[in-house]
Amino acid sequence: MSTPIRASSILPGQREDIELHTADGLRLVGELARPVDREPVGTLVCLHPLPTHGGMMDSHVLRKAAWRLPALADLAVLRFNTRGTSSVRGTSEGAFDAAVGERFDVHAAIEYAEFHELPNIWLVGWSFGTDLALKYGCDPAVAGAILLSPPLRFSTPEELTVWAERGTPLTALVPEFDDYLRPAEAKERFAVVPQAEVVGVPGAKHLWVGDAETVLDEIVRRVNPAVPLPLPTTWDGPVETGDVSAYADRTVASFADTPVPGPQRD
């Protein structure tokens, strides 16, 4: 009997709590989800939204990716809390550092994926996480990056140029009604990266509430293009139910579509 896949649905997967260790001596908490009975085709290293506004490894799109994509798309999903960030999984050591010290966090996640021989590593950044991906993620081990609602607040044109020079695939999913950067301006800003694909998503907003399935389809389209799309909305087999109430105040209310200024530029 088919079961509808809902926001709280946890499809089968191997899930383990992990710890990342940064070069500056911090312990970060996270989780790795893999397919149950086969090797993953690709790996998503997830970089969450701004922790000062509720972002964390359990932010809803990243949580749904971890709960669904190992079963639906043969992907491994690595999520973690950047320094000073808390979620149900726990609190990472350190303190929020406005995209400076977080470079060590990004490098630790990539190194973890490399050390554990996870294949075809793609970064998936959301909001603040897109700035971390652009600033610190253009690494030889990274096959590409997918940016959800990129505000381009902390990243610089010079950092975009690095991606242009490397030629690493870059996709920006930009909501039609984003609070920070909308599709037309995003195409102008990313024009310095010839290989960048800017995809405007009609009707969507910065938080992707109601549009998570569209995001997951677009991620899978790039990381494992052999998977038929759209992804299924029902599942034939065992399904667990997660407690999404634990995250309710950390999704819409805490984000509070309020623009946040980036760092001061000289």
pLDDT value at residue 243: 84
For the CA atoms of the chain, what is the radius of gyration? 17
pLDDT value at residue 25: 98
CA–CA distance, 177 with 149 (Å, rounded to integer): 10
pLDDT value at residue 81: 98
Q: Are 18 and 46 in contact (CB under 8 A)?
A: no
pLDDT value at residue 1: 75
pLDDT value at residue 11: 98
pLDDT value at residue 246: 66
CA–CA distance, 243 with 9 (Å, rounded to integer): 9
Average pLDDT by consecutive 10-residue portion of the chain (266 residues)? 94 98 98 97 98 95 98 98 96 98 98 98 98 98 98 95 98 97 97 98 97 98 98 96 73 44 42
Residues 6+ apart with CB under 8 A from 225: none
Token pair in block for residue 109? 């996640």
Say which CATH class 2-255 falls into: alpha beta
Task: Give the helix ranges, DSSP H, for the chain.
Answer: 60-73, 102-115, 128-136, 157-166, 183-189, 212-223, 252-255
pTM of the full predicted structure? 0.93
In 3D space, the residue among 29, 25, 75, 74 whose CA is nearest the CA of residue 48 turns out to be: 29
pLDDT value at residue 56: 97
* β-bridge mates for residue 17, sequence order: 31
Residue 245 burial (C-beta neighbours within 10 Å; 0-12, 13-18, 19+): exposed
In 3D space, the residue among 166, 118, 159 whose CA is nearest the CA of residue 136 turns out to be: 159
pLDDT value at residue 53: 92
For 214-233, write each residue's pLDDT tens digit.
Answer: 999 999 999 999 999 999 99
Q: Are 125 and 132 in contact (CB under 8 A)?
A: yes
